[in-house]
Amino acid sequence: MDSPGNNGVVQTPAHGGDAESRGVTILFADMADYTATVERIGEEGAYDLMRPIYGLMAKIVRREGGVVKDFTGDGIMAVFGAPVALEDATLRACRAALGIQAEVAGLAADFHGRLGVRPRLRVGVNAGPVISGQMESGLATFSGDTVNFASRLQGLAEPGEVLVGEAAHRRVEGLVESRYLGLRSVKGISEPRKIYRLEAVKPGAGRFDASLHRGLTAYVGRDAAIAALAGALADSRRSLRVVDIVGEPGMGKSRLLY
């Protein structure tokens, strides 16, 4: 696939009728001031710098269930939620983004001692629909506004910062600590977009915590299940009761227990 290049727009043409629309989370990460760094330490020094950083970023992405789809000259593009759908793809991407920043920062002194530079990364995360398909070569591709805006967010980020788009932020609201940075004009996008700085993932928070944060809707259609649970709870005062709650993701198991 084509790299973002200087304008930050990813062009990934799909192959014919194989294209499909699907919801994913996109992460872009690159090194700040990479061109100046190459001029300072040379091509071989830049290779010695980027090779372990690539490996570190790929390891963290894979650990969180994502896939690295492209290595640019100084960064990566990663996808969460494809080819395998993930219920918490955006939260995983946020953990990966913060993990990448933390681990690179932790190695800064080592890089400075060996190469005389302290690498700092910029990361952008966005979520939404993309067009997914395959090139003639068989490589999977992802394109659309979701991809382009994620790339723009990475370009807007300060060194050491993770920026998140509004769509991604809605999916993790209540699960993360963030700061609203306001509406920003973004090159190549007609309307200003809301942008957030990601600061931390709350420990132990789950999807239902996010629902509580947003506010719950009326609960209907589970009278029999609630009655069964209430009966088991009453019976448990006399003897042991075990109840299995089984259902597909998103069916409302956590809400039922709540």
Q: 116 is written with which tokens? A: 């005389």
Write down the pLDDT at residue 211: 64
Same domain, 96 and 196: yes
Statement: residue 16 has pLDDT above 80? no
Burial of 123 (0-12, 13-18, 19+ CB in 10 A): buried
Any domain includes 72: yes
Task: Say what the pTM is.
Answer: 0.75
Same domain, 105 and 226: no
Other residues' Cβ atoms within 10 Å of the Cβ of residue 182: 9
Same domain, 140 and 191: yes
Same domain, 73 and 147: yes
Same domain, 62 and 163: yes
Distance CA 13, CA 16 (A): 9
| Overall average pLDDT of the 3-32 stretch | 65
pLDDT tens, position by position, 127-185: 999 888 766 555 678 888 899 999 999 999 999 999 999 999 999 998 999 999 999 98
Same domain, 139 and 174: yes
Residue 230 structural domain = 217-257
